[in-house]
Amino acid sequence: MGKVEKLVDFIAETIEAEAETLAEGVKEMTDKVATETKELAEKMTPDNLKGEVKDLAEKLSPENLLNEAKKMRKTMSPKRMTADARKMAKDVTKQLSPKKIQARVKDLVSAITPDGQEERNEELREEFAPKKPRKKATRKSAATKARGAAKKSTAKSKAAKSKAKTAKKTAAKSARKPTAKKAAVKPKAKSAKKATAKKTAPKRATAKKSTAKKTTAKKSTAKKATAKKAPARKTKPATKAKAAVKKATKTVEKAAKKATSATKSAAKKTTTAARKTVHKAANKVSRATAGKKRSAAQKKAS
């Protein structure tokens, strides 16, 4: 006989003794329940009771209760309890084997070491790391699509106009004829004559400044002719289209806001009404059950 087998036998014997005591207690309880149910059955006959209470009386009949007590006795029999106890003892002995204890000690030592702690910390970080929020799929409305189309069309028209202007300028430059430049060479004879004339000419007398007061010219009172204003530029079709698109988008957005507010208010009203109805029904059911319990208690007391 090994130590393990002795331990198993000792545990089995103790459990057998406890099972016997438990079985005796169960027998006493079943006898008490049977006697009490008989008395209740005599007081609460099925003729006096109604509906659901009749079904309850049939379920709580002494025969049904005795059958349930027999089933309990079979399940709580000492033989079954001893078999379960032996299984439990074997499991305990397996868990308390030296190999398993050594393995647990190794696991504990590896967990205490700095490498093991780092691994554990990494696992915890991965478990409790904040999850990235999902990107909401945004659906473009008809108004936003219309805006995008209008912007693209205006950009294309501007690019086409600028290209046409540059083409016109290049064509005009190429059409012009090159003008011949004049030679900046002066005749020598004329320059020589001018130089001699300057030298031979007598000097002019310098005029003295007059001391007489100057008369200030009066300002003219005649009204100046106002320049005519340039005619107002006509609005381009592209700008008109832009304005129309903006108006349409504003109206659509306003309508959408109104619709969402209306749906929210309607949903709130429906939910509140549903809650009220559920609460009322629950209160009615609880009152009815409380009344039944009171009447049953009064009958028992009488």
- For the stretch 128-155, pLDDT in tens is 777 776 666 566 677 777 788 788 888 8
- Residue 119 burial (CB count, 10 A): 13
Q: Report if pTM > 0.85.
A: no
Higher pLDDT, 40 or 46: 40
Mean pLDDT of the chain: 73
Helix (H, G, I), strand (E, B) or coil at 227: coil
What integer pLDDT is reported at residue 145 of this predicted model?
77
- For the stretch 113-122, pLDDT in tens is 777 777 777 8
What integer pLDDT is reported at residue 224 of this predicted model?
61
What integer pLDDT is reported at residue 7 of this predicted model?
72
Q: What is the mean pLDDT of residues 90-95?
A: 80
What integer pLDDT is reported at residue 165 of this predicted model?
83
Confidence of residue 19 (pLDDT cuts 50, 70, 90): confident
Q: Is the pLDDT of residue 206 over 80?
A: no
Confidence of residue 260 (pLDDT cuts 50, 70, 90): confident
For residues 149 and 238, what is the distance between their CA atoms, to the nearest angstrom? Answer: 12
CA distances from 269 to 62, 74, 262, 280, 282 (A): 54, 59, 11, 17, 20
Confidence of residue 38 (pLDDT cuts 50, 70, 90): confident
For residues 259 and 247, what is the distance between their CA atoms, to the nearest angstrom? Answer: 19
- Cα dihedral across residues 203, 207, 208, 209: positive or negative: negative
Ramachandran class of 135: left when φ > 0, alpha when ψ lies in -120 to 50, beta otherwise? beta
What integer pLDDT is reported at residue 229 of this predicted model?
65
- For the stretch 166-183, pLDDT in tens is 887 887 777 765 555 555
